[in-house]
Chain A
Amino acid sequence: MATRLKHRTVVFVGGGFTAALAARQLTAKGVDVVVLERGIDRTHTAATSLPSQRDELRWDVHGDLFQDWSVQTYTLRHNDGETALPIRRLQAFKPGEGMGGAANHWNGQTWRWSESDPVLRTQLENRYGKKAIPAEMAIQDWGVTYAEMESYHDQFEKLFGIAGKAGNLRGKVQEGGNPFEAPRQNEFPQKPLPITEAGVIFSEATKKLGYKPFPLPAANSPEAYTNPDGMQLGQCQFCGHCERFICEANAKASPEVLLYPMLRNRKSFELRLQTHVLDILYDRKAKRVTGVRYIDRVTGEEYEQPADVVVLSSFTMSNTKFLLMAGIGTPYNPRTGHGMVGKNFCHQTMSGTRVFFKDRWINPFLASGASQTVIDEFNGDNFDHSGLGFFGGGYIYANVTNGRPITSRAVPPGTPKWGSTWKKANADWYAHNFTISAHGSWYPHRENYVDLDPTYVDAYGQPLLRMTFDVRENERKMSVYLSKKIDEIAKATGADIAPPTAPRKGPYDSQVYQTTHVTGGTIMGNDPGTSVVSPHLQHWDAENLFVVGASVYPFNAGYNPTGPLGALALRLGDDLNDYVACPRHL
């Protein structure tokens, strides 16, 4: 029997990136907030201290910062006709655990999405005609426009000290930035990171081909930086331990550096660590949530936390799972197309090649998570899709983030897998190669969705979330197209060895890392018939329940998801202040 706790105003389920940003807005107005987080605070632990922070085996290969699969994983099948099996050690994406969530171990690649992305269906219908969008591609508009989000993007970039070069200042295209950028009111708060040798080579090659390379906007601080809250970032050390690690130099803008330490000093804020939320408590008749039930992972005891407002702010997968478990809204049925919860599940379409240079020193260990050089000509709807047979695209970039020797080392194709020749190839090429990749969109397909697994359970006896998921035709065609562009750029670099890029194919592979950007399941939109939450992220079937995270994205763009997520979370915080003052459908 769960012990019933004192009533609170707003309870957040999951103490990561979005909870911290929304809680920042709420607690600034003195609103009572409690954040429930299943993991620990890793400040001043082995994860954030030298020399243990630089341990590739522990943090990268063994994934000590990630969700513990022995406790909770997901099942996978490629279509409805198969029986899903549990992914016993997931590699394809890396949800986090602990104060700050997955945003502690991110690389820091921080985009605003294209101006047309929040109105994608309208954009494609206007440009290519209504019939051009295949019936199985369930893309839709967000219900909120870029213009409405711009000031939140601006605020987020200042809070996180994003380093970059504007490409479009108030409609005027800027030399050196992204010419396809959505118009911004202000320049980035920090100048771009210094370019890597790979970036130099990539820039020369792409300019030769007529493209406009620019520095990828980065949440790796080029200098010491103080944000508008007075919180500080250190200078990036280009240590090559960014993604999958927590920055020990406090130079990677993350919730555990910039947000939680500040929030924990605010009177109306409480962070309750090592609390695993089991259920959202739903009063179906009243169409309201009444609180949450959780287990204290230290004592094993169960608690009920009543609240006026519940915000689901956990990872994409868990947000969807909580709704399915509580029976809030209707689970998506791919056969009838009815139901919304679990629909439009998407990932990222990645492909790339390695270019090898005998005489150029790439020194991959002199890099940071986002010190990359990129072109945006083939992203989203930045190019004409007429006759191509697919929609979407991706940015193409010189993808060097580290030289960690277990996982990032590469030898030319055809090298034996062991022996003296293998060793010599490692010695010859380690410092002399880099990857050119496409970071591609993933548009929703009617048959790609998540629901509750009928067989497998987690450590708490609850069903695992099941992915019915594969790489469908749209993404496969797009990947072929982007891979050819990669090959043209690779050739233009003058590399000694540039093997052809293998486009992304099915079946969807749980054992190959793509990105941690899985999206959808609780999608946003203007119409309760085609979305789970409103454009204010308010649940259509429970007025005092809000959902924030990439689970609300109706599709995944060719950009990293964090920028709009930051903007949406800050906007949600303001909306919640409004709601708490006057509860209603916003």
Chain B
Amino acid sequence: MTNDQSDKTFHPNRRGFLGVAAATGAASLAPGVLIGTAGLAEASEPAPSQSVDASASTIAAKLPSPVPGYLSFGPDEAGFVEVMVNVMCPADALTPGGVDCGLAAYIDRQLAGGFGKGARLYMRGPWREGKPELGYQLPLTPEQFFKAGLAAADAACRKRNGKAFSELDEGGADRFLHEIADGKVTDERVQLASWFNELVYPLFEQACFADPVYGGNVGKVFWKAIGYPGLPAVHSQDMVDFRGKPFPGAADPKSIADFA
């Protein structure tokens, strides 16, 4: 991956970013240096994008910006992850695209923090390949494994598709991710299906549904989408009053920050 191809890179819903980048001559920063795109969007007209429908734009405009900047990712890694989360979470009537939901920011911070560094993970050798039922058996921290898998996936993508993952169009990127998940993409040293299904995918789900304090689920957008009311969850009376009925609190969830 190289940065100079950024203007061809698929970014389905980085609202206004490409437009602003072009206007300010900041194209060399993209991909990989994520600026608070919602803030930028306010300052300029959103770039037209076929995959952003009107309702998604409306939701997006109301959301806070994801936390800007990365702690763990380098520019190429960020480019891969941004495309990936935008494919896995396309802008639609329920949420904006993955980057604007903070999904890339979430994954970056998890990898930079205790989880990524191997907290609570037994890390002593000897290391041997084991049956799947024994779980993870590599000498890498989750952060190292994430990056090893990402590099292997990108190399496999170039071999298969003749270009880097971040250069694929939306359909191509989606197809490639499915091929990885289904074990159809292989690498000599990294088991890519296990990498994706056991590390990347859980991080993606957490990014969507964890408390926004961790950087994903910006503006509680996923909680709103499914109707999870969040905090404070003091429901002694609710559980009787709303048994079998829609729960009004689900429309306006609260998170940790609302009680901080």
Contacts and interface: CB of A to CB of B under 8 A. Distances in A.
Contact of A88 (B126, B131, B135): B135
A426 B225 contact: yes
A70 B124 CA distance: 8
Contact of A418 (B121, B204, B239, B244): B204
Secondary structure type dominating chain B contacts = loop
A366 B122 contact: no
Contacts of A25: none
A239 B237 CA distance: 11
A427 B225 contact: yes
Contacts of B120: 62-63, 68-70, 89
A502 interface: no
Contacts, number: 185
A83 B136 CA distance: 16
A91 B131 CA distance: 15
B77 to A, nearest CB: 20
Interface string A103-139: 0000000000000000000000000000000000000
B233 A240 contact: yes
B4 interface: no
B204 A85 contact: no
Interface stretch (A194-202, A205-213, A334-342): A194-202
A419 interface: yes
B7 interface: no
A403 interface: yes
Interface in A394-438: 403, 405-406, 409, 417-420, 423-424, 426-427, 430-431
Interface string A554-585: 00000000000000000000000000000000
A472 to B, nearest CB: 15
B233 A200 contact: no
A52 interface: yes
A508 B228 CA distance: 33
A85 B223 contact: no
Given A418-B177, A419-B174, A507-B133, 8 more contacts: A56-B209, A56-B210, A85-B128, A237-B234, A239-B234, A239-B235, A405-B226, A419-B90
A464 B3 CA distance: 48
Contacts of A363: 242-245, 247
A51 B244 contact: no
A360 B255 CA distance: 26
A196 B238 CA distance: 11
Interface string A229-246: 000000111111100000
A358 to B, nearest CB: 13
Interface in A481-510: 507-510
A431 B243 CA distance: 12
Given A69-B122, A196-B239, A427 B233 contact: no
A197 B223 CA distance: 21
B246 interface: yes
A513 interface: no
Nearest to B88: A418
Given A62-B115, A76-B134, A423-B94, A51 B239 contact: no
Q: How large, as a class, is the contact surface on chain B?
A: 35 or more
B206 interface: yes
B236 A235 contact: yes
B260 interface: yes
Interface of B: 87-90, 92, 94-95, 114-115, 118-124, 126, 128, 130-137, 174, 177, 181, 201, 204-206, 209-211, 213-214, 222-223, 225-236, 238-240, 242-247, 250, 255-256, 258-260
A383 interface: no
Secondary structure type dominating chain A contacts = loop
Contact of B133 (A70, A419, A508): A508
A89 B244 contact: no
B172 to A, nearest CB: 14
Interface in A31-86: 50-52, 54-57, 61-63, 68-70, 73, 76, 78, 83, 85-86
A431 B250 contact: yes
Contacts of B246: 361, 431
Contacts of A240: 233, 235
Nearest to A55: B211
B82 to A, nearest CB: 15
A123 to B, nearest CB: 33
Contacts of B255: 51
A432 to B, nearest CB: 10
A365 interface: yes
A52 B256 contact: yes
Given A51-B231, A194-B239, A238-B236, A61 B135 contact: no
